[in-house]
Chains A and B, each alone.
Chain A
Amino acid sequence: LAKTTQPISMDSYEGQEVNITCSHNNIATNDYITWYQQFPSQGPRFIIQGYKTKVTNEVASLFIPADRKSSTLSLPRVSLSDTAVYYCRLTGGGNKLTFGTGTQLKVEL
């Protein structure tokens, strides 16, 4: 069972870049790496997905090294509204679709 490991919490200030790293040492060949954002009392929201190297969309970037044993979600210039829990997951392969502990990001003024 592939497992993901993330920091439990991170603190930042408005305007800063935030990088959240997720470890997934047992990632399978056909696994994709997917990141979600969850606000209190809401379902998770898809942020970004990647397989290797770098993926960028309008809200975030995802960096994946060649060995794919980790990934880093990069949020440029965060604001207060980015305070949420961020989950990384391995999807698309044969792994059971479970969530890890997630990272509680707190953004302050």
Chain B
Amino acid sequence: GAVVSQHPSRVICKSGTSVKIECRSLDFQATTMFWYRQFPKQSLMLMATSNEGSKATYEQGVEKDKFLINHASLTLSTLTVTSAHPEDSSFYICSAGQGMNTEAFFGQGTRLTVV
């Protein structure tokens, strides 16, 4: 099946710094990638949808200036958490698909801890 690779799997950063998370589709071209955030014992919450070559669409309540998404190629999307704070500590997960509503494959997730 299709493989989506996410890197890093875990990262610890200091408050105020920025962290970049990469999401790669390894064996298919992903025109659309999705970014989720998951807090402990909660479900995944969609943060934004990124389409290759265009601006990402953010869900209500998600600050686009804080969570920068770049989808410059059909195999790579990046999420940058800018000026991270402890409340940004969470599990971030990406998924990729070949159309707006066709995502089915998820990355391994990135555990972000802001200290």
Q: Which A residues lie at the B interface, using CB under 8 A? A: 34, 36, 41-46, 49, 87, 91-102
Instruction: Please state if B102 and A44 are interface contacts (CB–CB under 8 Å).
Output: no
CB proximity of A81 to chain B, nearest CB, Å: 18
Instruction: Please state if B104 and A46 are interface contacts (CB–CB under 8 Å).
Output: yes
B106 at the binding interface (Cβ < 8 Å) = yes
CB proximity of A101 to chain B, nearest CB, Å: 5
B34 at the binding interface (Cβ < 8 Å) = yes
Instruction: Please state if B101 and A42 are interface contacts (CB–CB under 8 Å).
Output: no
Q: Tell me, in angstroms, the Cα distance from A49 to B106 when the chains sit together.
A: 15
Instruction: Please state if A46 and B1 are interface contacts (CB–CB under 8 Å).
Output: yes
Instruction: Please state if A102 and B43 are interface contacts (CB–CB under 8 Å).
Output: yes
Contact of A94 among B93, B101, B105 (CB under 8 A): B101
Q: 8 Å CB contacts to A: which residues of B3-26?
A: 4, 6
Binary interface encoding of chain B residues 74-110 relative to chain A, with 1 for a CB under 8 A from any of its CBs, else 0? 0000000000000000010111000001111111110
Residues of A within 8 A of B106 (CB): 36, 43-46
Q: Known: A96-B46, A99-B44. Contact between A41 and B101, CB under 8 A?
A: no
Residues of A within 8 A of B101 (CB): 91-95, 97
Q: What does DSSP make chain A's interface, helix, strand, loop or mixed?
A: loop
Q: Which B residues lie at the A interface, using CB under 8 A? A: 1, 4, 6, 34, 36, 43-46, 49, 91, 93-95, 101-109, 111
- 8 examples of A-B residue contacts, CB within 8 angstroms: A43-B6, A87-B43, A87-B44, A91-B101, A91-B103, A91-B104, A96-B46, A99-B43
Residue in A closest to B32 when the chains form the complex, CB atoms:
A97
Instruction: Please state if A97 and B108 are interface contacts (CB–CB under 8 Å).
Output: no
- Given A41-B109, A43-B95, A87-B44, output 10 extra A-B contacts at Cβ < 8 Å: A42-B109, A43-B6, A43-B93, A44-B44, A44-B93, A46-B106, A49-B104, A97-B49, A97-B103, A99-B43
CB proximity of B67 to chain A, nearest CB, Å: 17
Q: Tell me, in angstroms, the Cα distance from A49 to B97 when the chains sit together.
A: 15
Residues of A within 8 A of B105 (CB): 46
Residue in A closest to B109 when the chains form the complex, CB atoms:
A43
